[in-house]
Structure 1
Amino acid sequence: MSEHEVPVPTEDAGSVVRSVARHRGARALQLDDNIAEEVPVAFVYNDAPFAVMMATPADLEDFAQGFALSEGIVERIDDAQVISVEHLLEGVEVRVGIPADREQILQSRRRSMSGRSGCGVCGSELLEAALRSPAPVGEGIAVTTTALQRALRELRSQQPLNARTGATHAAGWALADGRIVLVREDVGRHNALDKLIGAMHRAGFDPQSGFLVVTSRASYEMAMKAASAGIAFMAAISAPTALALSLAQRTGLTLLGFARDDGQAVYTHPRRLIGQETCT
């Protein structure tokens, strides 16, 4: 794939049609409804099982590579090469090749249980595996409030899976002018971000050249995944957590919460947001 050629997901990927009885007052209608898929997705690195995540079975190569980077299994996303994606009766198995010198990382990062769709660091066996500290994110770019508002508007219009099902989160990558160039969706907010990180790599986008918008709260694991990918600016439509703010402050990540058309809250490193005055 050439640089900045955006991988496009299959139009109906991630949902199935099921019959549902819709009740409105005394009336009941039998209708077909689009339902978001949620299946076990197993990651196997160098033939060693690592984790099973409950996820939407779309954009799985993006998911595998982004997950490997954001979980600290590899330091460069090029070091995670997807070998095969096999759809089984029980779920999906994704086999990934990593350098031999990274295999020891699997033990410290290994999950002791399945990761649910709402789960980020669930199942990490060691405290240090759950509470990692990524390297500083770099300078990143300045983002105007106008660009941020454009990105938020465009993200809402670029979620076909959520439009069909009403059940998924999204993570979007925006350029400096606010134009959304990549979106990935999943029933799990962390999965959506991992998929986006993988898609950014495949499309050739530099994480220092744009900014991240997500349709969820800014939890610690969301901030950690963004910082691990070298993203310097993240805007969430909901609230942050105190641990996310602590990580963002340490790594240099600009973290915004409650991002809306009419404003946002800037919690850390406000220098990157241009056009917002602070009154005291």
Structure 2
Amino acid sequence: MNVQQVTKKTRTTTQTQVDTDWVISEQAIALVYNGISHAVMMATPDDLHDFALGFSLNEGIIERETDLLDFEVKQQTNGLELNITLNSRQFSALKNKRRSLAGNSGCGLCGVESLEQTVKSRLCLPKSSLITLSACQHAIEQFIDKQVLRQKVGGVHGAAFCSTETGEVLLIREDVGRHNSLDKLIGALVKNKQQLTPDKGFILVSSRASYEMVDKTIAAGINHLVSMSAATSKAIDWAEQHQLNLIAFASSTRQVIYADNTIS
């Protein structure tokens, strides 16, 4: 259940009113690979197969969708377990990484053992034409209306895949965590890869464009990341190094281009 009903008190200078409210659900979700717990994230418990697939791809645990052989959700006392079965080759590689992390909804590098592990190996994206101002504007105009959870409860991040030509929002995922929403979106894109190929769209996110958000976009092979909030210095550097077009502070009237790696 992605939302929960709670009792609230609304207090003003003249009165206190008791009624109910809807809030976003946040649970501990463990990603368990072949019986071994690898990560615990605080997330919204929906689109969990998308989350497991996107997280596994972005972390380099799997190379393709078919490396994930089976998936099962188990309710535990303190949260949910996503029991993921990998093929023997990918599971052997995972064990060799010796990574064990426990993260929260804002954690992108928790659990790494050294500074060297924070630098990931990514292929450079092919250069591409920068998406138009009108496509960005059209995507932003639709974005809020398509965030169903945000409209109901607030406190939710969104990540959308939008057409590079028109800005039409083609797919959207939401979560209490900004990284999680992007993992879910990328997982959903992989499942719909025949219709939604990376070269046909850009990613629009409600959160800031951090290093990890840029890195996940690069890992997915998508050339453009548009953020409705700020960009960080590391995100800009990583985008420039990998030829990602990065736009931040995007609104219906204004956009800031921090990395423009267009075809010369």
Same fold (TM over 0.5): yes
Corresponding position: 1:187 with 2:191: no
How far off its partner does 1:142 sit?
4.5
1:203 CA drift (Å): 2.2
Q: CA RMSD in A?
A: 1.8
Q: Cα distance 1:141–1:100, how it changes in 2: closer, same or farther (>3 A)?
A: farther
Query: Which residue does the alignment assign to 1:64?
Result: 52
Give, in whole Å, the separation in 1 of the partners of 2:198 and 2:2.
26
Q: Does 1:257 align with 2:245?
A: no
Cα 1:60–1:142 shift into 2, 3 Å = same
Structure-1 residue corresponding to 2:76: 88
Which one of 221, 224, 247 corresponds to residue 230 of structure 1? 221
Structure 1 counterpart of 2:14, which letter?
A
Q: Quick one: distance in 1 between partners of 2:236 and 2:183? A: 20
Q: 2:40 aligns with which of 45, 52, 62?
A: 52
Give the TM-score of the pair, scaled to structure 2.
Answer: 0.92
Between 243-252 and 111-120, report the one with greater CA deviation. Answer: 111-120
Q: Which residue is 1:196 aligned to?
A: 185
CA deviations on 1:227-267 (whole Å, 9 max, x unpaired) are 11111100001111111111111111111111111111111
Q: Which runs of 5+ in 2 are unaligned?
A: none
- For the residues of structure 2 that align with 1:38 and 1:125, how far apart are their CA atoms? 27
1:97 pairs with 2:97: no
Give the partner amino acid of 1:22: T
Decide whether the 8 Å contact of 2:99 with 2:112 is kept in 1. yes
Name the residue aligned to 2:62.
74
Contact 2:112 2:118 in 1 (8 A): yes
Equivalent of residue 137 in structure 1, options 98, 122, 125: 125
CA offset digits 1:209-243 (Å, max 9, x no partner): 10000001110011111111111100001111111
Pair 1:119-2:119 in alignment: no
1:1-40 Cα deviation digits (max 9, x unpaired): xxxxxxxxxxxx4110001011233121111101111111
Pair 1:247 & 2:238 matched: yes
Where do 5+ consecutive residues of structure 1 fail to align? 1-12, 273-280
Residues 226 and 82 of structure 1: CA distance in aligned 2, closer, same or farther (over 3 Å): farther
| SS at 1:143 equivalent | coil
- How big is the shift at 1:108? 6.1
Q: Which amino acid in structure 1 is aligned with residue 160 of structure 2?
A: G
Q: 1:141 to 1:194 in 2, by over 3 A?
A: farther
- Kindly indicate whether the alpha-carbon contact (under 8 Å) linking 1:66 and 1:77 is maintained by their aligned counterparts in 2: no
Shift of 1:166: 1.2
* Matching residue's letter, 1:37: S
Aligned to 1:32: 20
Q: Which residue of the partner structure matches residue 160 of structure 1? A: 148
CA distance in 2, matches of 1:144, 1:93: 42
Residue-pair matches, total: 260
Instruction: Answer yes or no: is the 8 Å Cα contact 1:64–1:82 preserved in 2.
Output: no
Indicate how the Cα distance of structure 1 residues 255 and 108 shifts in structure 2: closer, same or farther if over 3 A, else same.
farther
Q: 185-194 or 262-271: which moved more? A: 262-271
Indicate conservation of the 8 Å contact 2:160/2:203, yes or no.
yes
Deviation sequence 1:80-104 (CA, Å, 0-9, x none) = 2442111222111111122322224
Question: Which residue does 1:41 correspond to in 2?
Answer: 29
| Cα displacement string for residues 126-159 of structure 1 (whole angstroms, at most 9, x for unaligned residues) | 3333221311223456521101111111111111
1:165-180 matches, cutoff 5 A: 165-176=153-164, 177-180=166-169
Q: Distance in 1 between matches of 2:15 and 2:188?
A: 45
One-letter amino acid matched to 1:138 = P
